[in-house]
C-alpha cells in the first residue's frame, strides 16, 4: 500500500519474479486525487532500491498501456529505459491494448540513483 500523509493513496508491488533472467516486474496504481504529487515516482524508486539491494535482482520491468500517459511518465522519470512496444498485450472490456515495456538494470541504478529526482 502507498500512503500519503497517512492516507491510503494507491498500491505498488512486485508482480512476479523471473529466475531465467533474475528480474522482477513492478505494478502500481494511484488514486486520482493523489496524482501530480510525485508520490508514485518515489514509491517506484523505493521498490527499485528494495529489488536491487535486498532481493538482488538484475533487472526491473514496468509494463504500461501505451495510452496511459501518467504511468509512462512515472517509468520515464524514475530512470527506466523504454525497450519497446508489445502489440495487443492486454485484453480489456473495450478490446486489446498495446503496451510498453520499460526496464531498469542494476548497473544503471547506481548511476541514476543520484540523478533521478
Dig out the grid coordinates for 17 from the structure: 519474479
Residue pLDDT, tens place only, 12-67:
999 999 999 999 999 999 999 999 999 999 999 999 999 999 999 999 999 999 99
Catalogue all structural domains in the chain, each as residue range(s) with its CATH number. 2-112 (3.40.630.30)
Mean pLDDT of 71-84: 96
Check pLDDT > 80 for residue 115: no
The per-residue pLDDT for 117 is 44
Amino acid at each position: 500500500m502507498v500512503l500519503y500523509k497517512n492516507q491510503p493513496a494507491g498500491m505498488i508491488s512486485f508482480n512476479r519474479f523471473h529466475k531465467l533472467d533474475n528480474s522482477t516486474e513492478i505494478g502500481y496504481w494511484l488514486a486520482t486525487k493523489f496524482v501530480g504529487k510525485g508520490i508514485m515516482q518515489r514509491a517506484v524508486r523505493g521498490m527499485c532500491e528494495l529489488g536491487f539491494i535486498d532481493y538482488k535482482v538484475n533487472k526491473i520491468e514496468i509494463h504500461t498501456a501505451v495510452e496511459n500517459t501518467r504511468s509512462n511518465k512515472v517509468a520515464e522519470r524514475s530512470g527506466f529505459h523504454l525497450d519497446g512496444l508489445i502489440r495487443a498485450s492486454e485484453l480489456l472490456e473495450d478490446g486489446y491494448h498495446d503496451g510498453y515495456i520499460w526496464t531498469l538494470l542494476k548497473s544503471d541504478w547506481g548511476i541514476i540513483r543520484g540523478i533521478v529526482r
